[in-house]
Structure 1
Amino acid sequence: MPLVVPGLMSKEGGDKGEDWMGKLAGKKLGDMHDEVTFAKQDLPAEHRVLQPDSMKTMDFKPERLNIHVDEEGLVKNVTKG
């Protein structure tokens, strides 16, 4: 069953990168939720995980969530587009 995060999945402006940053900062992405992991299946359908020095397309998709991780896989930044 997917995690319901009030305000993050709603249409009332809650789908901002800053809101996601509050939920993902300092966590790893994985299969299940716990204190240090956020489940990948609860991310929006339009998302990509960007590792340091990885190549990325420069197309802009306003609905896409860009999750920037460090070398250890910890989320360091979240942006939209």
Structure 2
Amino acid sequence: MPLVVPGLMGGKSGDKNSEWQDKLMGKKIGESSDEMTFAKKDLPQEHRVLKKGDMSTMDHKPDRLNVHVGDDGTVEKVTHG
């Protein structure tokens, strides 16, 4: 039987993830926006861009946007927390 934690799946945070995934997936984070790049200045104030192997704090901030990028800087995953 799977573990179910209220508020962890679906609801508002799921919608925020979907919205940001649609905007960022497959793009790179840069100084300005175009077809292949999303401007860093347009990310929420509370965000962090994480590369594979980067160290990060384990504190949970529900409104913080975590942008996970690959070795080439392309967004691979978007989460909140």
In the superposition, the TM-score normalised over structure 2's length comes to: 0.81
Q: Where has structure 1 moved over 3 Å in runs of 4 or more?
A: none
Counterpart for residue 74 of structure 1: 74
**Whole-Å Cα distance in 1 between the matches of residues 60 and 18 of structure 2?**
18
Counterpart for residue 27 of structure 1: 27
In the superposition, the TM-score normalised over structure 1's length comes to: 0.81
Counterpart for residue 10 of structure 1: none
* Residue ranges of structure 2 left out of the alignment (5+ in a row): 1-11
* Residue ranges of structure 1 left out of the alignment (5+ in a row): 1-12
* Offset, 1:24: 0.2
Code of the residue aligned with 2:61 in structure 1: it is K
Relative to its length, the structure with more helix (as a share) is 2
Aligned residues of 1:18 and 1:79 also touching (Cα < 8 A): no
* Number of aligned residues: 69
Identity percentage over the alignment?
57
Give secondary structure in 2 for the equivalent of 1:23. helix
